[in-house]
Amino acid sequence: MRAAALVVLALVDAFAPPQRAVGPSTILHGSKVGVYYGTEGQNTEAAADLLVELLNAKFDGIAGETSFPVDEIDGVEDLMDHELLLVGCPTWNTGADTERSGTDWDDLYYEDDGLPSLDFAGKKVAVFGCGDSVGYGGNFCDAIDELESVFASRNAQTGFGYMPASGYGHEDSKALRGDKFCGCPLDQVNEGDKTEARLSE
């Protein structure tokens, strides 16, 4: 797990700004790393906020002043303001083939003026998400699979921050890529005490 997390940190390090004061509060345009999330029960929001805090502590404000809920952005074009995107979602529509997160991401995935309208060539994207490995262990964090796949279909560079599945108590997940998850799954319900370590190792 540590090795996978270090991959994300190395990726972020490549975009770290030189040591200088953080610019004025044009927040969306002021950071090379953008952390965006969809949420229903606030677990993913809490994880996104913690991720911003951890990144800024290590890389001098690289993630800006805040994370961004996708239901409050002006438009999907906001996502283009960053070189690296860390995007997160929960899994609410358990077992669904599509629109698994139950958040505004589901609308953005397939609408003509949503993500299909953008070309993320040259952008790097890593995903994270929240699930319940005990109550929904057979579909643990399924939604991050769809989240990554949609960005990949729009030419984003993906495949970063994959976490070994051996550290989780799930049964199965659509987010598995062999013996790893396609991002950083979090279980705030049963393993909330491991969230910070999983995001920062």
Task: Kindly report, residue by residue over 39-70, the tens digit of the pLDDT.
Answer: 998 999 999 999 999 999 999 899 999 999 99
59-76 burial code (b ≥16 CB/10 A, e <16): bebbbbeebbbbeebeeb
The residue ranges of DSSP E strands in 44-159, in sequence order, are 68-69, 84-90, 124-130
pLDDT of residue 167: 86
Model confidence band, residue 182 (pLDDT cutoffs 50, 70, 90): very high
Q: Find tokens 């929240």 and name the residue.
A: 130
State how far the Cα of 132 lies from the Cα of 128, in Å rounded to an integer.
Answer: 14
Residue 85 in tokens: 């995107």
pLDDT of residue 33: 95
State how far the Cα of 200 lies from the Cα of 57, in Å rounded to an integer.
Answer: 11
Can you give the C-alpha Rg of the chain in angstroms? 16
Q: Comparing 198 with 19, which gets the higher pLDDT?
A: 198
State how far the Cα of 166 lies from the Cα of 164, in Å rounded to an integer.
Answer: 5
Q: Which domains are seen in the chain, by residue range?
A: 2-13+29-200 (3.40.50.360)
The full DSSP string for 111-131 is STTSGGG---TT-EEEEEEE-
Q: How many CA atoms lie within 13 A of 29 on its CB side?
A: 5
pLDDT of residue 201: 65
What is the pTM assigned to this prediction?
0.85
Residue 57 burial (CB count, 10 A): 11
Average pLDDT over residues 73-94: 95
CA dihedral (163, 165, 170, 172) positive or negative: positive
pLDDT of residue 21: 29
Highest mean pLDDT out of 25-29, 31-35, 119-123: 119-123
Average pLDDT over residues 19-38: 56
At 86 the three-state DSSP class reads strand
State how far the Cα of 105 lies from the Cα of 45, in Å rounded to an integer.
Answer: 14
Q: What average pLDDT is seen over the chain?
A: 87
Per-residue model confidence as pLDDT tens digits over 160-180? 999 999 989 999 999 999 999
